[in-house]
Structure 1
Amino acid sequence: MSNVGPYTYATLTMRPDNAPHLAVSFYTPKLRVSSGMLLSNPRPFLEFTSHEANVHISTTGAGPVTDADLAIAREIFTAAARYLADCERLHTDQSAADMTANDPAA
């Protein structure tokens, strides 16, 4: 398996008679994740930032928080918890494999 160095990949696809499609992939240790509240028009936001790209998520139409906004926030929370659990499990597995590989008695 080859390892590619860290990068951020963003593509914008625009086709006639279709809505534009933007895809952003972060594969970098320099990713910053933050959240907060915009004060000028009170609403929450979630932000993913690298040197190459920024992704901002906020409420529908930048307006009041709706039931749909709550559902999306819960989906983000659930996905982030699953991502964390998978990262922790793989990190533990990889650390154990590294220790076994470096153990001369193994």
Structure 2
Amino acid sequence: MSGYTYTTIALEPGTAPRVSVSVYPDERARVSYFPPVIDTRAFLSVQHGDTGVFIGLTSDTVVSDTHVRFARELFESAARFLADCERLRDEHADHVEQVDQVPDQATPGKAA
């Protein structure tokens, strides 16, 4: 498995700069949740190699419906991502299993 992570900074005339972080995980990727018990805010951490992405609340944030809506969208998107990963893994496993079950064809003119 080969994952990678990269950051893109887009600077275009007349527009605000955009920064994007793309994470294509492998076995080095980690996702962690830090509850507000340890800190005065809750946050998620996505780590891959030397790259980290953090999603959280500032310590003085009053949690509003906007925060809850964002968290729900994040949860629902992650659940769909999980479902697709599991489906694709299972489809791959089924394909590998089918290929492994194909009987070897004897070479014509030679004994098997």
- TM-score bin, normalised by smaller chain: 0.7 to 0.9
TM-score (norm: length of structure 1): 0.81
Aligned length in residues = 103
1:72 is matched with which residue?
70
Aligned counterpart, 1:6: 3
Q: Could you tell me which runs of 5 or more consecutive residues in structure 2 were left unpaired when the two chains were aligned.
A: 105-112
TM-score, scaled relative to structure 2:
0.77
Amino acid at match of 1:65: V
| Structure 1 residue matching 2:32: 3-state secondary structure | strand
After superposition, what is the alpha-carbon deviation per residue over 1:36-55, rounded to whole angstroms, capped at 9, x for unaligned? 13568622111111123111
Structure-2 separation of matches of 1:21 and 1:46: 22
56-65 or 18-27: which moved more? 56-65
**Cα deviation, residue 81, structure 1:** 0.6
Where does 1:52-91 land on structure 2 (aligned, <5 Å)? Answer: 52-59=50-57, 63-91=61-89
Greater Cα offset, 56-65 or 46-55: 56-65
- Distance apart, 1:16 and its partner CA: 4.5
Deviates more, 1:53-62 or 1:80-89: 53-62
Which ranges in structure 1 are unaligned for 5 or more consecutive residues? Answer: none
Counterpart selection for 2:22 from 3, 21, 25: 25
Alignment root-mean-square deviation, CA: 2.5
| Between 21-30 and 60-69, the greater mean CA deviation after superposition | 60-69
Contact kept in structure 2, 1:60 and 1:66, CA below 8 Å:
no
Partner residue of 1:50 out of 48, 51, 76: 48
Please tell me whether the aligned partners of residues 13 and 22 of structure 1 are also in contact (alpha carbons under 8 angstroms): yes
Larger Rg: 2
Moved over 3 A (4+): 38-41
Deviations 1:12-70 (A, max 9, x none): 12334432211111113111101113568622111111123111111378612111010
Percent of residue pairs bearing the same amino acid type: 34
Contact 1:34–1:46 (8 Å) recurs in 2: yes
